[in-house]
Structure 1
């Protein structure tokens, strides 16, 4: 990893873990705040960005989409415009490692299910989970704290815990089904900021070789 690489943390929310579940929110960290894409399952909800901004001090830009397909299309456009740069490193926490990870495999399946091209071409990616787990002591009362929230609390404090309306990520599924989109977005923003904070700590205390950077470009594309 080059010192010049700008880390862009990302995190997704979904309706569950099954193959036919869908992406509900995708968030990316940027130098000036968080860029969020949210779908509403064809339900009308105006003023989401303003309502989120009322709750969160960090600058948040929200785009709202009727369903999963247009959300993924908007994410693809964002990736092409913002991440196709040699100076950007995409990072996630357990995005594609422990137990197969979550975010990246889920996105692959949903892009394929919607017949959309994989957008992360020539985008370097590193997972923060193995860096944090192997190179930092996160043990509390004899047990390693390996979840995103727990690792963040141990190494960074609890600043973004005040943003998160949920005690458990599973609550985001219920909130989405009930149409509480602001809560889901707020949770996603908190997890994006937690991931970004852990990335900064890892970058500050770990060597370049500790980041197992890989390309997300598929074998066949274009």
Structure 2
């Protein structure tokens, strides 16, 4: 949108109950994607997983494997610091955070509090794709997959019909389908943001700065 390029963000979690944690955090940019996997103490070969995910998706990814939520959050913060430029990028997600709801950013904030980790996105502008695509006619669709299929369509690498399957996949240590699901969602989100940048007025993006007042 304008001079800013969208950076799409999405998380997977172990559920929705109070004890749930972040299991995957994914970010995609014009140069490729970074995905952090929290194995919750289990071993996983990042090289083999990267090869498998790139083979299945045809995408360029950088995979980082962590064994705890805290380490995942620290890794996400390091990636954001090194690769997200607030003069060139804005962060986006699908229902990540809208004016009266959202999932990804509120869950991320709680995880940062729980793990005593600093907020990973200081000084970055944010606009939610869900609030932008309502400027298109998508019929009865308001979910990410439905909106994407209506406006863009085409093949994707998502092995799941819904995000609930991602919970079981993490619990069972089925890393490749879990990573493919997250990758598909961040790629869909960014493609929708790019599309909106071509057709939707700047004023409708409702940008806000994610920097907390005490930073």
Indicate the TM-score class for this superposition, using the shorter chain for normalisation: over 0.9
1:50 lines up with 2:51 in the alignment? yes
CA distance in 1, matches of 2:100, 2:89: 26
1:152–1:158 contact (8 Å) kept in structure 2: no
**Partner of 1:72: helix, strand, or coil?**
helix
- Is 1:22 the counterpart of 2:46 in the alignment? no
Q: Is the 8 A contact 1:96 1:105 kept in 2?
A: yes
Q: 1:199 aligns with which of 193, 197, 200?
A: 193
Normalising by structure 1, report the TM-score.
Answer: 0.92
Q: Tell me the number of residue pairs that the alignment of Structure 1 and Structure 2 aligns.
A: 213
Between stretches 84-93 and 121-130, larger displacement belongs to 84-93
- Mapped to 1, the partners of 2:145 and 2:67 lie a distance apart of 30
Q: d(CA) in 2 for partners of 1:33 and 1:117?
A: 25
Taking structure 2 as the reference length, what is the TM-score of the superposition?
0.95
Q: SS of the residue aligned with 2:117?
A: coil
RMSD (CA atoms):
1.2
Structure-2 change in CA distance of 1:170 and 1:98 (3 Å):
farther
2:183 — aligned with what?
189
CA drift at 1:158: 3.0
Q: Where does residue 65 of structure 1 map in the other structure?
A: 66
Q: Alpha-carbon deviation of 1:159?
A: 2.2
- 1:98 Cα shift? 6.9
Deviates more, 1:24-33 or 1:108-117: 24-33
Question: Equivalent residue of 2:197, what SS?
Answer: helix
User: Who is 1:4 aligned against?
Assistant: 3
Instruction: Report the Cα offset of residue 16 of structure 1.
Output: 1.1
Query: Of 146, 167, 172, which aligns to 1:173?
Result: 167
Q: Give the equivalent residue in structure 2 for 1:82.
A: 83
SS of 1:37's partner is strand
3-state SS, counterpart of residue 127 of structure 2 = strand
Provide the rounded CA distance (Å) in 1 between the counterparts of 2:126 and 2:18.
23
Quote the Cα distance in structure 2 between the aligned partners of 1:41 and 1:48: 16
Alignment pair present for 1:35 and 2:34: yes
Report how far residue 50 of structure 1 moved: 1.5
Contact 2:6 2:190 in 1 (8 A): yes
| Paired residues of 1:19 and 1:109 also in contact (CA < 8 A) | no
Counterpart CA distance in 2 for 1:214 and 1:85 is 12
Listed as ranges, the gaps of 5+ residues in structure 2 are none
CA distance in 1, matches of 2:15, 2:119: 21
Q: Distance in 1 between matches of 2:103 and 2:32?
A: 24
The residue aligned with 1:108 is 109
Aligned residue for 1:159, secondary structure, equals coil
**How far 1:20 moved relative to its partner?**
2.0
Task: Measure the CA separation in 1 of the matches of 2:84 and 2:166.
Answer: 27
Q: CA deviation at 1:170?
A: 0.5
Q: In structure 2, how many angstroms separate the alpha carbons of the residues matched to 1:211 and 1:33?
A: 23
